[in-house]
Amino acid sequence: APSSPATARNECSITPLTPSPSPVRPRMACPFLVVVAIDFGTTSSGYAFSFTQDSEAIHMMKRWEGGDPGVANQKSPTCLLLTPDLRFHSFGFAARDFYHDLDPEDARHWLYFDKFKMKIHSTSDLTMETELEAVNGRRVRAIEVFAHALRFFREHALKEVKDQSSSVLEGEEIRWVITVPAVWRQPAKQFMREAAYLAGLVSPDCPEQLLIALEPEAASIYCRKLRLHQVKALTSNTACGFASDDFVFVSREQLRRSRHSRTFLVESGTGELWSELQTGDRYIVADCGGGTVDLTVHQIEQPLGTLKELYKASGGPYGAVGVDLAFEAMLCQIFGEDFIQSFKAKRPAAWVDLTIAFEARKRTAAPGRANALNISLPFSFIDYYKRHRGQSVEAALRRSNMNIVKWSSQGMLRLTQEAMNELFQPTINNIIKHIEELMAKQEVHGVRFLFLVGGFAESAMLQKAVQKALGRTCRIIIPHDVGLTILKGAVLFGLDPTVVRVRRCPLTYGVGVLNRFIEGRHPRDKLLIKDGREWCTDILDRFVSVDQSVALGEVVKRSYTPARLGQRKIIINIYCSATDDVTYISDPGVRKCGTITLDLPEPGAVGGAGGGVPERREIRATMQFGDTEIKVTAVDVMSNHSVRASIDFLSN
């Protein structure tokens, strides 16, 4: 710690600023004319919007160029193409198709990025300088790649909003919402905000115009709006291909078939879930996406229908991408890792074609499917293997003793049901293990409803496995259009961000302070003698504790005084820990995670008594932990002027 740290006065407690709510919950007056939400996913992305005047109608994005025929408002693949001189070229289907059509020699100079969102999750020391690697191996700052993608969505969405709006919209009349996984830490959330500033979605001077929404929370906001219908017992063979008293899979087809079912069924249309379920006021949302699985537990609060988080967000990098990586590992096993790496480097576009072919087949994989799944190998793969290894792909397969993968004379890899099970199993097991661990927690005990959402929730392989493992303990509900649940919920969140009233802290946060040294209680190596007084350094002054409930509007206040006269800035280091049993900022598991900066105006500007001895100034900082992002404001107590305060988790 510095020799003269700003001293913290410990008169601070968490004070709720707002009185407890009265039963009639006013809809927040939304100061914006339109809310645009961007669901920036690992494998696919999309946007939706709603006019605040007509908030029941959520407009989904229109068809993309190059989208799959016959599929309306589907999401676009999260892939981006930059020209050899690093200019933006295209995003989504257009990027995929253009890259595919490039001459192999040219393609090596273009920068193609896909599934790049995972890098933000996996980087432990994320900064503005963190780089991403394109398929051809060239590196670019991650913040620029994300900004290109967000700029693309901004232009697309604005054009469509303007087409549907009668009045001329000004930039500041739009509220933007960007979704991120709930398991992301503060630096990653701040990274998305900085990328949005860089992309020109909003100006850093109007931060409240951009909301960061947590993906499973958005899904939960949408799910709580679903109307559940009671219908009689499910017949033995439903639209899913399997049936159970406790499994709810919703499709139009099924609504037609399930006249004799005694399960809940979900239909589009926004009834309130809590008006239908007496005991179902607590539920788990499992958001199974491309990159992560994200679990949230919510309770619907009577009588206003606000949401309260019952346990801190949990999950991890167990999304559908795990299945793709398992397929790549299987190819390495058959053809040799050195060959696969060489093929990726020399024929990047053909490699992308192969991964797209696998992903398309992956979506159709279902348990109990008798026939094999065929994946066509690009001609350049077959040709490149023959030239490099002097033998055919077929011979390689025979030699590998990989009995679960066959070769068909049409130039296809045939993946048997056993092969698909092997590719899916590790990822699915991780997801189920996570849900089971969560359900074993005391706070979650007895929760009877599980909403399965996110793109991976469309997979029959995952549905069947979750049903088998958890169907006895809870009712599993899969909304219609499950891949768009988060997007719709993010729009609802943008229309009224106060709907989630209580959240749980993912970490313990605090700062290092000096306290009076007490002999026998404090270790000698923490002793600091200053002005003849004995102080103990490095004590963690907690702002909030891990898994603590924090309501919206609840604040933590601390007062700081500059260490010396004429000081222009107070910089305070923030520390965090995943556990709460810590005393000092030097304890194991405690790490510096960010800084609070308070800018001090000239004391002269305060207009004191003049000529007298200047008083020690007191700056009171107010922090909010109940939102999706941590916020700080500050005032100079003597003058009551607000002080510029910022909190930074990225330049650590």
Same domain, 337 and 411: yes
**Element spanning 113, H or E:** strand 111-114
15 alpha carbon, distance to own chain's centre: 29
In a domain, residue 247? The reply is no
In a domain, residue 19? The reply is no
Q: Report the CATH number at residue 162.
A: 3.30.420.40
Same domain, 126 and 226: no
Phi, psi of 513 (to 5 degrees): -130, 170
Same domain, 358 and 487: no
Same domain, 642 and 584: yes
Last residue in a domain, options 399, 422, 445: 422
Same domain, 62 and 168: yes
Q: How many domains does the chain have?
A: 4
Same domain, 365 and 513: no
Q: Is the pLDDT of residue 278 over 80?
A: no
pLDDT category at 224 given cuts 50, 70, 90 is confident
Last residue in a domain, options 448, 468, 496: 496
Residue 623, classified by CB atoms within 10 Å of its CB into exposed (0-12), middle (13-18) or buried (19+), is: buried
Q: Which amino acid is at 166?
A: S
Last residue in a domain, options 422, 449, 475: 422
Same domain, 191 and 48: yes
390-446 pLDDT, tens per residue?
Answer: 888 988 888 887 888 888 878 889 999 999 999 999 999 999 999 999 999 998 988
Lowest-confidence region among 64-78, 117-131, 315-329: 64-78
Same domain, 481 and 535: no
Distance between CA atoms of residues 91 and 97, nearest Å: 10
> In this structure, are residues 235 and 262 in contact, taking their beta carbons and an 8 Å threshold?
no
Spatial CA neighbour of 176 closest among 152, 199, 149, 202: 202
Could you tell me the residue range of the domain that residue 59 belongs to? 34-215
Q: Is the pLDDT of residue 9 over 70?
A: no
pLDDT category at 368 given cuts 50, 70, 90 is confident
**What is the pLDDT at residue 560?**
86
Where do we find the tokens 């991650």?
A: 142
Most confident of 193-202, 259-268, 406-415, 463-472: 193-202
Same domain, 222 and 210: no
**What is the pLDDT at residue 257?**
38
Same domain, 61 and 172: yes
In a domain, residue 25? The reply is no
506 alpha carbon, distance to own chain's centre: 14
Q: What is the mean pLDDT of residues 41-45?
A: 91
**What is the pLDDT at residue 604?**
57
Spatial CA neighbour of 306 closest among 26, 624, 625: 26
Q: Is the pLDDT of residue 230 over 50?
A: no
C-alpha dihedral over 458, 462, 467, 470, to 10 degrees? -120
153-201 pLDDT, tens per residue?
Answer: 999 999 989 888 877 777 789 999 999 999 899 999 999 999 999 999 9
pLDDT category at 563 given cuts 50, 70, 90 is confident
- Quick one: tokens of 52? 């605040």
In a domain, residue 609? The reply is no
Same domain, 467 and 369: no
Same domain, 436 and 413: no
Q: Report the CATH number at residue 515.
A: 2.60.34.10
Q: 562: cis peptide before it, omega within 30°?
A: no
Q: Is the pLDDT of residue 29 over 50?
A: yes
576-620 pLDDT, tens per residue?
Answer: 999 999 999 999 999 999 999 988 877 655 444 444 445 678 889
In a domain, residue 374? The reply is yes
Q: Is the pLDDT of residue 101 over 80?
A: yes
In a domain, residue 13? The reply is no
Average pLDDT over the chain reads: 82
pLDDT category at 234 given cuts 50, 70, 90 is very low
In a domain, residue 26? The reply is no
Q: Is the pLDDT of residue 491 over 90?
A: yes
121-160 pLDDT, tens per residue?
Answer: 888 889 999 999 999 889 999 999 999 999 999 999 999 8
**What is the pLDDT at residue 270?**
37
The string over 629-640, giving b where at least 16 C-beta atoms fall within 10 Å of a residue's C-beta and e elsewhere, is bbbbebbbeeee
In a domain, residue 6? The reply is no
Q: What is the mean pLDDT of residues 320-324?
A: 93
Spatial CA neighbour of 483 closest among 39, 38, 36, 35: 39
